[in-house]
Amino acid sequence: MKILGIDTSCDETAAAVVADGRKVLSNVVASQIEVHQAYGGVVPELASRKHIEAINYIVSRSLAEANVTFKDLGAIAVTNRPGLIGALLVGVAAAKSLAYCHDLPLLGINHIEGHIYAPFLAQLASQNLLSKCMMHDTLTFPHICLTVSGGHTLLVEVHEGWQYKVLGGTQDDAAGEVYDKVAKYLGLGFPGGKIIDDLAQKGDPSAIKFPRPMRNTNDYQFSFSGIKTSVRYFVEKARRAGLLVENGQENVEPTNPDLVTLEDIAASFQAAVVDVLVYKSIRAAKATGAGAITLTGGVAANSQLRASLKVAAAEIGAEVYYPPMNLCTDNGAMIAGIAYEKYRQGLRDEFSLNATPNGSLV
């Protein structure tokens, strides 16, 4: 059964066709990064407008790339929560109209459930991604899922039938959000995750000891705003003292041993974030006896997080699964994928389906 999955929850207009919840026939994403870059973050009103401009084309392209028409589909699924309300509404309105016109079942999907499903998806060999990701048919239940994106940080125990037990989440900023904010303090651009990740590879992660808030609390909660503030104060102080080697000054002769580089700040910041994420994920796997940990969401693209989690999981005999890069960030395939499972469980929505900015997993 082929499902069209649509996601417009944030700043990506995404549509995909997935067969039987496994086979990604197409996965089309229009990024709005260039629009929001000038503002250093996602501007909700602009996001909605750009979704409106792109949605019809992206849906048509996803069908064309999958080589199907609406007649070949069994259902239309759309993210209706959580996310930016104006952005969500565009996808929901499009999905409702298309489902009505083509007489197809409509399913409203939780965006986070999509992320949790993403590691399960197998990409078509023609997209040349099979070599870069694992096949996940061996993923067992229950497993621990760490969802880390620009809007969410959640540790979830995932049970058979896609039932969830939320173990913990962030008390303040999401992991991706702090990457973006720290990149802004450092004058590096938006979104900051990939930029900091790349920069960190050239820096010393032990150069600066940034705090690890809530690392040792007896729960599965996270707090990242303290790390962010600490980086901010450090950067301001170093700048005032003329000790920060900023962008464009890389070739300055380091005469002063107290000079700090963007590379070292990026690596030390990343070490703090990754340390807490890995520590609590491993703790959850140990406590629940889960034999697998999945990593998903935009921050799951982080090279250090992937590597550290793998090493730490191996020490407790747990497997780590993560989707290919293009399924870590927002996409329609993960929505179509989980929608297939929901469809089989009997989910159908009315045309009164609405978008809502919030939406808990359970």
Binder among 330, 334, 337, 338 for Zn ion (CB under 5 A): 330
- The answer to whether the bond into 191 is cis (omega within 30° of 0) is yes
191 near ligand KG4 (CB under 6 A): yes
Question: Tokens in use for 311?
Answer: 């090493």
C-alpha separations of 258 from 52, 185, 188, 208, 327 in Å: 51, 20, 22, 12, 41
Which one of ligand KG4, Zn ion, none is in contact with 359 (Cβ closer than 5 to 8 A by kind)?
none
117 near ligand KG4 (CB under 6 A): no
Question: Tokens in use for 62?
Answer: 């996803």
Beta bridge partners of 145: 156, 294
Task: Report helix, strand or coil for 348.
Answer: coil
Binder among 117, 164, 179, 343 for ligand KG4 (CB under 6 A): 179
Looking at the Cβ atoms of 74 and 189, the one nearer to ligand KG4 is 189
Binder among 32, 80, 149, 268 for Zn ion (CB under 5 A): 149
Query: For the chain, what is the radius of gyration of the CA atoms?
Result: 21
359 near ligand KG4 (CB under 6 A): no
Give least dist CB 298 to ligand KG4, A.
2
| Cα angle 333-359-134, degrees, rounded to a multiple of 5 | 30
Looking at the Cβ atoms of 110 and 149, the one nearer to ligand KG4 is 149
Question: Where does this chain touch ligand KG4 (CB under 6 A) — which range of 101-109, 116-124, 148-156, 311-319?
Answer: 148-156
Binder among 151, 168, 205, 332 for ligand KG4 (CB under 6 A): 151
C-alpha separations of 106 from 18, 95, 281, 350 in Å: 15, 7, 35, 7
- The answer for residues whose C-beta is within 8 angstroms of residue 10's C-beta and 6 or more apart is 42, 47, 83, 84, 87, 150, 151, 330
197 near ligand KG4 (CB under 6 A): yes
Task: Report helix, strand or coil for 283.
Answer: helix
Question: Where does this chain touch ligand KG4 (CB under 6 A) — which range of 176-184, 213-221, 276-284, 345-353?
Answer: 176-184
C-alpha separations of 173 from 77, 186, 307, 341 in Å: 29, 18, 23, 31
Question: Where does this chain touch Zn ion (CB under 5 A) — which range of 38-46, 285-293, 316-324, 326-334?
Answer: 326-334
301 near ligand KG4 (CB under 6 A): yes
Give least dist CB 305 to ligand KG4, A.
7
Task: Report helix, strand or coil for 331.
Answer: coil
Looking at the Cβ atoms of 7 and 319, the one nearer to ligand KG4 is 7
110 near ligand KG4 (CB under 6 A): no
- Centre a 10 Å sphere on the Cβ of residue 303 and count the other Cβ atoms it contains: 14
Q: Are 265 and 203 in contact (CB under 8 A)?
A: yes
Question: Where does this chain touch ligand KG4 (CB under 6 A) — which range of 220-228, 251-259, 291-299, 307-315?
Answer: 291-299
Question: Where does this chain touch ligand KG4 (CB under 6 A) — which range of 92-100, 185-193, 202-210, 230-238?
Answer: 185-193
Half-sphere exposure of 225 (CA within 13 A, CB side): 4
329 near ligand KG4 (CB under 6 A): yes
Number of residues that bind Zn ion (CB under 5 A): 2
Give least dist CB 337 to Zn ion, A.
14
12 near Zn ion (CB under 5 A): no
Binder among 82, 119, 297, 324 for ligand KG4 (CB under 6 A): 297
26 near Zn ion (CB under 5 A): no
302 near Zn ion (CB under 5 A): no
Which one of ligand KG4, Zn ion, none is in contact with 75 (Cβ closer than 5 to 8 A by kind)?
none
Q: Are 123 and 337 in contact (CB under 8 A)?
A: no
Label residue 225 exposed, middle or buried (CB < 10 Å: 0-12, 13-18, 19+): middle
Q: Are 319 and 50 in contact (CB under 8 A)?
A: no
Best CA proximity match to 7, nearest among 117, 81, 60, 101? 81
Which residues are at the interface with ligand KG4 (CB under 6 A)? 10, 149-151, 176, 179-180, 191-194, 197, 297-299, 301-302, 329-330
Which residues are at the interface with Zn ion (CB under 5 A)? 149, 330
